[in-house]
Chains A and B, each alone.
Chain A
């Protein structure tokens, strides 16, 4: 039985999906569907690397930030209402600081100018990704589709960037977000809340950044990922069935995701045999 949990597909896909499905089913009528994504993420972490934080590496810092983002869903949704400008600014500052903290030891290995540029770019990337992810939060089908493609895209980029562990973490977030989308498709009802995409945006963003800093991924391969949440807006809100909207929205988000993965694939290929 234990051997099943050693299989990478189970660690990254099956287990996080099933756990997220259970949590999403229980929370389907609440504003806390984002917790299901966090539950899937934590399941993958438990199976892939465990929760040892001594000493704390950049990947382990990412886990801490992912847990923090999941807990933020609780805080933000229990505050009720839609996010205010002040709330968005505070979140942006927090996310930027989290990005810097996560990659700090990596920046310290660089010269000052490179570290400042790389650190600024990392913080800006994560802030923009999280802001665009939560900006589509008013429609939880869009949020779920965006989170699905952000997770799967980050996982694919990590695999092409030579890190299988980061790939598993990214894919687990996509799998968990897929579970939240599936619950809404089956019940035919959108969930409430606006922060569903927050944990997925944060973790997928950090997976991408760490693959650039510690793996072989070129930085420009991350840029199309920023368009994933916006691509979900290409499917106009209407009276069609939730399941159809979910499929169309996911397909729209698949376009920038595929562009990011295609860039990474060609960047990995040698120029000549």
Chain B
């Protein structure tokens, strides 16, 4: 093989590595889905799920990717976990069959196989949300996305924020509508490290 051929092959090698899809695992301590919903037409109730896990595959060169996250519905938290007056707390009510029915549906799952790029920027993710046994399409709009080294330990990582909204009645969660809003706004923050 000529030196020229070797040089060309050596030049192409890093490019082929960059084109390979990279698998990521979600950092469960820094990845949370947050939600907000209108209460009585008066104010907004904010909450989040404390436990989310998942995996993603990202190929930035080919501009493709996939995502699968699992949310533990029993980990719902709205700042009212237990009351001292003997009445049931809001978080207990949310775990009941009136809302997330955590005993029967312990996980909500989001799966995507389509990442939409605008140039080099990941703009949105098309996927499906399965909640209470019902699966519906749901598009996540990325408000930020970045891959780079961790500022302290220098490990490669990716992170971003996404927003979306859906009607809970589409998933069979009808209790309290319209006093408790039908539309749920979701904000998901994710940090992930290569597998």
Contact = CB atoms under 8 A, between A and B. Distances in A.
Interface of A: 6, 48-50, 52, 54-55, 57-59, 105-106, 109, 160-166, 210, 213-216, 265, 268-270, 273
B78 interface: no
Contacts of B149: none
B175 A105 contact: no
A97 B133 CA distance: 23
Given A57-B132, A163-B97, A214 B87 contact: no
B177 to A, nearest CB: 8
B29 interface: no
A164 B95 CA distance: 12
B122 to A, nearest CB: 32
Given A164-B98, A273-B84, A57 B104 contact: yes
B86 interface: yes
Given A59-B97, A165-B98, A214 B86 contact: no
Secondary structure at chain B's binding surface: helix, strand, loop or mixed? loop
B103 A213 contact: yes
Interface of B: 82, 84, 86-89, 92-93, 95-98, 101-104, 106, 132-134, 172, 174-176, 178-179
A192 to B, nearest CB: 37
B72 to A, nearest CB: 12
A49 B103 contact: no
B75 to A, nearest CB: 15
B93 A163 contact: yes
Contacts of B88: 160-162, 216, 268
Contacts of A166: 96-98
B133 to A, nearest CB: 4
A55 B133 contact: yes
Given A214-B104, A268-B88, A270-B86, 4 more contacts: A162-B96, A165-B97, A166-B98, A215-B97
Among B87, B93, B98, B175, the one with the most A-chain Cβ atoms within 10 Å of its Cβ is: B98
19 contacts: A54-B134, A57-B97, A57-B133, A58-B97, A59-B97, A59-B101, A106-B103, A160-B88, A162-B88, A163-B96, A163-B97, A164-B175, A165-B175, A166-B97, A215-B97, A216-B92, A216-B96, A269-B86, A273-B84
Contacts of A265: 86
Contact of B179 (A6, A50, A52): A6
Contacts of A105: 104
Contacts of A52: 172
Among A48, A58, A214, A270, the one with the most B-chain Cβ atoms within 10 Å of its Cβ is: A214
Contacts of B92: 162, 215-216
A106 B86 contact: no
B67 to A, nearest CB: 24
A161 B96 CA distance: 9
Nearest to B92: A162
A54 B177 CA distance: 19
A215 B98 CA distance: 9
A55 B170 CA distance: 12
Contact of A6 (B86, B93, B102, B178): B178
Contacts of B176: 164
Closest 9 CB pairs of A and B: A269-B86, A162-B88, A55-B133, A214-B97, A162-B92, A163-B96, A214-B103, A165-B98, A215-B96
B82 A270 contact: yes
Contacts of B133: 55, 57
Nearest to A58: B104
Contact of B104 (A6, A54, A109, A160): A109
Contact of B84 (A49, A162, A270): A270
A165 B133 CA distance: 19
Nearest to A273: B84
Nearest to B95: A162
